[in-house]
Structure 1
C-alpha cells in the first residue's frame, strides 16, 4: 500500500482528530511496514525498529487533537522515526561514537522530505511494468523477480537465449525511461 495523497491525508487527519479508530487503523496499515523498513536504515534490530514505530503511532494517537503537520504526513512520520532513532542512539551513546569516528551522524544524511517509501517505488515500478508489452515483460519478470537465468527462461518460453537477452534489455531501457526520477532506487533493487 502506498502513501496517501494530500487530500486523503487531510480527511484522514481530520477524522483522527475526531477520535476515529478507523482513520488511525488506515494510517497504521498504510505506513507501518515502510516506517519499520526506514528505521532499519539506522537501527539494525527488527524488534527495536518495530518498537520505535509502534511508539510513534502511539504518540500520534495520544497527540491526535493537537498535532500540527507542516508539510506532509509521510514527512512527519519519517522525521519522527529519524528523531526516535537519534534518541535511541543517544540513550546507548552510539551517536557519540559515530561523531568521533565519522565526524557527524549518519542520520543527518537522510533527506526525509524526498525519501521514497519502498511501497511508493514498488507502485511506480508496477505501473511502469503494466505499460510494457507482455512479450518483453514476461522475460524480465522471470529474470529479475523470479531469479531465472536466461537459459532457463529460453527453455521455458521456447525461444533462444539471445531473444531473452534482447527482451530483458528492451524492458530495462523502457523502465529506465519511465522511471528516470527513481534511478538511484532502481539500482538498489537490481535494475541498473
Structure 2
C-alpha cells in the first residue's frame, strides 16, 4: 500500500535520512516509487527502462543523503531527478543511433574497396587530431559521452560541474568538430548518396 507523506513527515524523514537511517529511505521509496515510474513513462514507453531509471534515481538519492539540499517538496525533487535521467537516457539513445549509423557506413565503405577503407582510416585519424586540438575539458566530456557511453549527469558528477556545463561543452565540441572535419563530411555525404543509388 502506497504511503502518503505530508511536509512535516517528509522533513522528519529527511533528517533521519541524513543520519543514514535505512527505514526512512524505505518509507520514501515505498511512498513515491510507483508515481515516479508512472512519471518516467511519460518520457519513455518501456516499463523496464522506466523502473531501471527510477531505481537508479533512488540509488543516487541514497548515496547523496549526506549532502542533500532540497528547497522544494521531496516529491518534486525526486520527479525532477527522474525527468533529468529520462532526458539523459533519450539523448544517449539518440547518440547510440547516430553511432550505429556511422558504424554501418564504415562497414559499407570497407566492404566495397581499399580506397574507401583508406578514407575511413584517414577520417578516424583526423577525428583524433581534431579532438586533441579541443580544450582539454571539452575533449574529455566528448570522449566520455561518445566513446564510454556516460550520461551527461554521470560526467557532471565525475567532473564536479553542473549538467548544463557538460551540455555546453559537448555542444561546443560538436560545433568545432564539424568545422575541423567539414571536408570529410562532404565526402561522406557523397558516398552515402552513391551507395543509396548503387543499391
The TM-score normalised by the length of structure 1 is: 0.48
Superposition TM-score, scaled by structure 2 size: 0.46
Higher helix share: 2
RCO higher in structure (CA 8 A, sep ≥6): 1
